[in-house]
Structure 1
Amino acid sequence: MYATTPCVGPAGGPLPQPGPTASEGDSPAAVASCPLPNEVSQNLDHRPQAVATARRTTHRVLEGWHITGERADAVMLVVSELVTNAVEHAQPPLTLHLHREHTGDRLWIGVSDGGPAPHHGPWTTSCTPDEHGRGLHIIDALADIHGIRTHSHGNTTHWARLTT
């Protein structure tokens, strides 16, 4: 994740400055005690555990941005759905993006991936059709707007904007 100012880590020493995008092994708990920038990105491993990592990161960022209650719950659910869809239906690499907009108390959530996978993931293929496929309906119900951006190099960003 981004860190714009030197911060004190859990042991009292300075936190390493990981650069513009942290990796999954970096400590979002320690970064959350620092002044958070308006944009946070985190690389995620392309595996089912990425959903839990994204939720932990998002929870700590939302705490730092003082976004709580039902709006925080909605953000957490949208993050879970976007990351799950990327793990199940897309290729690596996988990156979570959170952006607190300056106007209108809005939060932009993006999950970038390597584009569509040739096959569905193990969870989707192990389910009957009525056990999956509701993620985009959930996002549609919670987000003010959502969409997909395909980049020239083949990567894709699935995004949603929520009022917080």
Structure 2
Amino acid sequence: MSTLGTPAFRTWEASLTDHCTSVRTARRQLRDLLTSWGWSGERVDDLVLIASELVTNAVVHACRGSGEVRLYLQEFDGDCRFEVWDPRHDLPLHDRHPRRFSECGRGIDLVRQLAFDFGVVTRKGAGKRVWVRMLLDPSATPPPPLAS
């Protein structure tokens, strides 16, 4: 909520390369941004962890030399939607059952557990957007979905 009592609508976007250092860059930028918007504590940590997983997936599995990963964030009065765009149409793997000591295969399940809502939007010729929705106050009654 803004200081005048009216809801605040804020947006942010960034374009990163498909290099592994982009994951660290995304985490840092997102943490700084959310903190400047008044988010704090576990909610920031959760969204930064989610961003780390989604950007890693885009860089490692989806881009493969395409050169670009795009990030989008919009927040309206404590309801946040974060998206990662990549140029491929293949969907994130769901319902994987990694072995006990496997080093991979748990990321999307982690995202699903931490986010209020989660999904993927594909568009012909335009890649895909993997999105998550987080609420600043997880006990609050959720508002209707933010616009795509």
TM-score (norm 2): 0.73
Amino acid at match of 1:87: V
- CA–CA distance in structure 1, aligned partners of residues 70 and 116 of structure 2: 22
Q: Please identify which structure carries the higher strand content.
A: 2
Output aligned runs, 1:14-163, within 5 Å. Answer: 38-91=10-63, 92=66, 93-102=68-77, 105-116=78-89, 130-163=102-135
- CA–CA distance in structure 2, aligned partners of residues 90 and 146 of structure 1: 18
- CA–CA distance in structure 1, aligned partners of residues 75 and 30 of structure 2: 12
Q: Kindly state the Cα deviation for residue 155 of structure 1 after the two structures are TM-superposed.
A: 0.9
Percent identity reads 32
Q: Which runs of 5+ in 2 are unaligned?
A: 1-7, 91-100, 137-148
Q: Kindly state the Cα deviation for residue 108 of structure 1 after the two structures are TM-superposed.
A: 0.4
Q: Kindly state the Cα deviation for residue 101 of structure 1 after the two structures are TM-superposed.
A: 2.2
**Does the Cα contact within 8 Å between 2:89 and 2:122 map onto a contact in 1?**
no
Q: Where does structure 1 differ by over 6 angstroms across 4 or more consecutive aligned residues?
A: none
State the number of aligned residues. Answer: 116
- CA–CA distance in structure 1, aligned partners of residues 13 and 126 of structure 2: 19
Which residue is equivalent to 1:123?
none
Question: Alignment RMSD, CA only?
Answer: 1.8
**Does the Cα contact within 8 Å between 1:48 and 1:87 map onto a contact in 2?**
yes
Q: Kindly state the Cα deviation for residue 87 of structure 1 after the two structures are TM-superposed.
A: 0.7
Q: Which runs of 5+ in 1 are unaligned?
A: 1-35, 118-128
Greater relative CO (CA pairs within 8 A, separation 6+)? 2
**Deviations 1:22-74, CA, capped at 9 Å, x for gaps:** xxxxxxxxxxxxxx971100000101111001011101111110100011110
TM-score (norm 1): 0.66
Secondary structure, in 3 states, of the residue corresponding to 1:97? strand
